[in-house]
Structures are given as C-alpha cells and as structure tokens.
Chain A
Amino acid sequence: MPQNEGYYYAAYAIVAVTYALYAVSLWRRARALKAREESSR
C-alpha cells in the first residue's frame, strides 16, 4: 500500500481551516453590523 498519509492529513487540515475561517468571517461581519446598528441608535 502506498505511503501517502501526509497528503491526506494536509487536505483534512486545510479543509477544516477553510470552513473555520469562513465561519469566523460570518461571525465577525454579523458582529460588526450589530455594533453599527447599536452605535447609530
């Protein structure tokens, strides 16, 4: 069996980081809008 675990670990790590970064970007944008709304009251 070929020894290529490095590619598999790298792929899973990158996938997890990509989805996590997008989730954080959504959270930050929602928080910024909330702050804008509160500051303009």
Chain B
Amino acid sequence: MHWLSVVAGAAVVATFVRAMFFTPLEAMQGAAQKIFYVHAPAAWVAFMAFGLVAVASALYLWLKDERLDRFAESSAEAGVVFTTVVMITGPIWGRPVWGTWWTWDARLTLTLILWFIYLGYLVLRGVIEDRAMQARFCAVLGILGAMLIPFIHLSVYLFRTLHPRPIVMKPEAPSLPNEMLVTLLLAFGTFTLLYVAFLRARYAIATQRDRLAAEGR
C-alpha cells in the first residue's frame, strides 16, 4: 500500500476521533450538528475535484495529452464519491434539524444535478469505446458540468433556501467557536488528503490500463 493512502487513512481516523470525542456539542442542534464535519469538507472536495476535471479537460482539448484525460477521469470518479457522501449526509442532517429529509430548493437541487452530470460522465466513459472520442466528449461534459459549481456556491445568496449560508468560506471571519473551527479545518485538510490519495491510486490504474491496451494485452 502506498504511504499516501496510509497517511490519509490515519488522518481520517484522527479526524473522526477529534470530531466525535474532542469537539463540543452545539446547543441548538445537538449531536446532529457534528455531521457538519464530514458533510462540508466532502462538498469542498467534490467541488475542487470537479473544478480540476474542468481544468484538465480544457488543457486536454488544447494539448491532446492523454495524461490530462486520465487525470480528469480519475478526479471525476473521486469527485462522484465525495458528492455521494454529500448527498447522503445532507438529508441525514436535514431530517432532525429542518424536519425533512429533502426539499427541492436551489442548493440541494443543483447539487443533485451536479451529481447526475458526473455520474453520466462516468457512464459515458464506459460506453464510448474509441479512446480519443471518449476523451473528447468527456472533456466537453467535464467542463460544462463544472460551470454549475459557482451557481451552487452562490445559490444560498440568490434564492430563498433552507440550506444555511457559508460560515467559513465567506468574506468575513468564520462564525464558529475555536474548538469547532479547528475540527472543521482539520477535516478540510484530511478529506483533501484523502482525495489526493484516491486520485493517485485511480490515476495509476488508468495509466496501467492504457499501457496494457496499447501493448494489446
């Protein structure tokens, strides 16, 4: 096992322990508020992953370097995993706090659409056999999908929504007590590291797969 995977796994365990046992409960929401420490970082990582898909895809369309396509493919898959976590933890948090598992407001609906777009992206990877055509079509879809991200971030300002506004990623200082903020920042770092570990492993698989295909094996 690669050292990066070991470090990322240890960091996830440490973050869980800190969030569960060494971070105070929030008075209004109770224990359910702790879902925040896995939900918000997963959303951040998903947006970063899809943003990197768009950058790598645009560069691929320009330079036609297969390494960029493999990077985009790998980042999209990891991004879908993190978006899945967002889509599962959001309703589990929403039920005790909002009184409903789901509401069709702008933030939730746009995130669901983003998830479907990149699930479609992965399906497209599977159904197009011609490697160059697959890379080209997926690059276009990868760029178009990422255009949703700014709208998702701004949706809580632009529309009436149950989803709270950002409490860290905003122009003013974060509105969290220090102990909670430290846990949140640790979680951001940990899940970003986990993304890098996933990306490295997935990129290695794509590289080996393409090498074997090129050798006719």
Alpha-carbon distance A22/B186, docked complex (angstroms): 22
B128 beta carbon closer than 8 Å to chain A: no
With a cutoff of 8 Å between Cβ atoms, the chain B residues found around residue A18 in the complex are: 81, 84-85, 88
Q: Is the contact region of chain A dominated by helix, strand, or loop, or is it mixed?
A: helix
Q: Which residue of A lies closest to B20 (CB)?
A: A12
Nearest-neighbour CB distance to chain B for A34, whole angstroms, equals: 8
Q: Are B198 and A26 in contact (CB under 8 A)?
A: yes
Nearest-neighbour CB distance to chain B for A26, whole angstroms, equals: 5
With a cutoff of 8 Å between Cβ atoms, the chain A residues found around residue B208 in the complex are: 30, 33-34, 37
With a cutoff of 8 Å between Cβ atoms, the chain A residues found around residue B32 in the complex are: 2, 4, 7-8
Which of B52-60, B62-70, B92-100, B149-157 is the interface stretch?
B92-100
With a cutoff of 8 Å between Cβ atoms, the chain A residues found around residue B209 in the complex are: 33
Interface extent on B, as a size class? 35 or more
Q: Are A11 and B217 in contact (CB under 8 A)?
A: no
Q: Is the contact region of chain B dominated by helix, strand, or loop, or is it mixed?
A: helix
When A2-B30, A26-B201, A36-B217 are in contact, do A7 and B85 touch as well, CB less than 8 Å? no
Residues of A in contact (CB 8 Å), total 26
With a cutoff of 8 Å between Cβ atoms, the chain A residues found around residue B9 in the complex are: 23
With a cutoff of 8 Å between Cβ atoms, the chain B residues found around residue A11 in the complex are: 35, 38-39, 88-89, 92-93
Nearest-neighbour CB distance to chain B for A12, whole angstroms, equals: 7
Alpha-carbon distance A27/B197, docked complex (angstroms): 12
Q: Which residue of A lies closest to B208 (CB)?
A: A33
Q: Are B96 and A19 in contact (CB under 8 A)?
A: no
**Partner of A8 from B28, B31, B42 at Cβ < 8 Å:** B31
Q: Are A12 and B212 in contact (CB under 8 A)?
A: no
Interface bits A14-28 vs B (CB < 8 Å: 1, else 0): 111011001100110
With a cutoff of 8 Å between Cβ atoms, the chain B residues found around residue A12 in the complex are: 16, 19-20, 34-35, 38
B148 beta carbon closer than 8 Å to chain A: no
Q: Are B217 and A37 in contact (CB under 8 A)?
A: yes
Nearest-neighbour CB distance to chain B for A36, whole angstroms, equals: 6
Query: Which A-B residue pairs are the 9 nearest by beta carbons?
Result: A4-B96, A2-B30, A40-B217, A8-B31, A4-B32, A5-B31, A11-B92, A26-B201, A11-B35
